[in-house]
Each structure stands twice: as C-alpha cells, then as structure tokens.
Amino acid sequence: MTLRSYIFTIAAAIFLLAVVLQMLRRRRLRERHAIWWMLAGVLALVAGIFPGTVTAIADFLGIEVPLNLVFFTSIIILFVVNLQHAAELTALESKTRILAEKVALLEMEREDDGRDEPRSDG
C-alpha cells in the first residue's frame, strides 16, 4: 500500500464517520440507522490504519484476495441496511393502511350523521 492510498483510506473513513455524526447531530439520521454506517466507518478506519488486518482476516477465512473481503463486508452491511429499511417500510405501509381505513370509517359516520338530521328550509 502506498502512502497516498494509506492516507486516502484513513481520510475517507474519517470523512464517513464525520458525515454520520453530523447527520445525527442535525437529526437527519436516526440512531438505529446510524449504527450500521458507524460500523462501516469504524471498520474502514481500522482497515485504513492497520491494512495488515484485512490481509490477516482474509488469510484466516481462506480468501485469496483481501479486497474481496472488503467488498463482501460492504455488501453484507448494505444488505442489512436494506433489510432494516424494508422492515420499517412494511410497518409504515401497514400503519398507513389502518389510518386510511379509520379515516374512511369516520367519513362514513359523518355522512350518515348528516343524513339523519332534519333539514331546515329556514
């Protein structure tokens, strides 16, 4: 690893962590979502500071090219984030459907109440 790539990797990891922390601070990202991005940032920072760890872990797992381990780990983290968002979207869709049904029932009740009252031509 060249000095330039070593510095770039560390800077990119620090930038990712700074962006996530800034989004948390401004309430643009919730804590449960930030956990996965913080994990990715910390892993990138560790891999940047100690590039030998990626090689050692890849050798231990039997992966010949250490970069493949980085890609695999990134894909797993993105998969988990996507799965978390899909679960939350499903829950929100269910709540939206229930709210729409309740609103429709309330509108029907209001229309029925309006028909029962006598009209004054007054």
Mean pLDDT taken over the chain:
91
What does the pLDDT read at residue 1?
76
What does the pLDDT read at residue 33?
84
Inter-residue contact 20 to 41 (CB < 8 Å): yes
**In the structure encoding, which two tokens stand for residue 112, read together?**
């029925």
Examine the pLDDT at 122 and tell me if it is beyond 60. no
Task: Note the pLDDT tens digit of each residue in 17-51.
Answer: 999 999 999 999 888 889 989 999 999 999 999 98
**In the structure encoding, which two tokens stand for residue 7, read together?**
């510095």
Mean pLDDT of 63-78: 93
Confidence of residue 121 (pLDDT cuts 50, 70, 90): low
